[in-house]
Structure 1
């Protein structure tokens, strides 16, 4: 478990490092030109795929580059604003994604939530046990759970 967690952290650090390096180089070489978040997202996704032997979804890199509420899907999602498309050749074949965003209301200024769906079903009991363990280790996480409940009630 520790090894997997450590490996995930290294992947996150690698993605952040690449994005920071590219942004710094761009700012140094082109100080009067604004950064292009779509270009940064695509470059970071490419770097992540290289580091992961050809396998990477653009979820982390698009969310990091664009910020806000990002929805990554195989197609444009109704109710979102389409930003760009991207694709990747993987060992399993070609994959394509549509990167969409949701324009959040101005009064939501501090929301932290990432939801991912891989298409693979999980045993709910295991997920609930993990959440319970997380809350017992970090009771302040209960505030986040309450915020999720409030968001769910708005639907």
Structure 2
């Protein structure tokens, strides 16, 4: 982890301070970090829910669930969110590690939304390609309403 671009990392936080155009004082950084951590926990919660839904649905179909099934779901959601695959997104920013650890609060919020919706669509029995199509539409509506202040 690069300490220059991760001002809070040395203080035990996880939020990259370099994302903000203005300098933040310590209290502001702590507040931003706390909000980021709440959003990050949400993604963990909804990812686990999505994985449970996937395992349950595949079990109902008499299929086993392999590790790559979970990876496929995660890759699909990251690509919907970022517009490119995670590896390319990280590389274009000179970052490494888990993509989620480098997302902004808003991006984490959108990712949690996608994970929650994907779990619901899995529970409804939709196949991967149909879920991907519906999630892309849902994300575009969700981001448009957030941009207009209706969130």
Q: TM-score, normalised by structure 2?
A: 0.32
Larger Rg: 1
More strand by share: 1
Structure (1 or 2) with the greater helix fraction: 2
TM-score (norm 1): 0.32
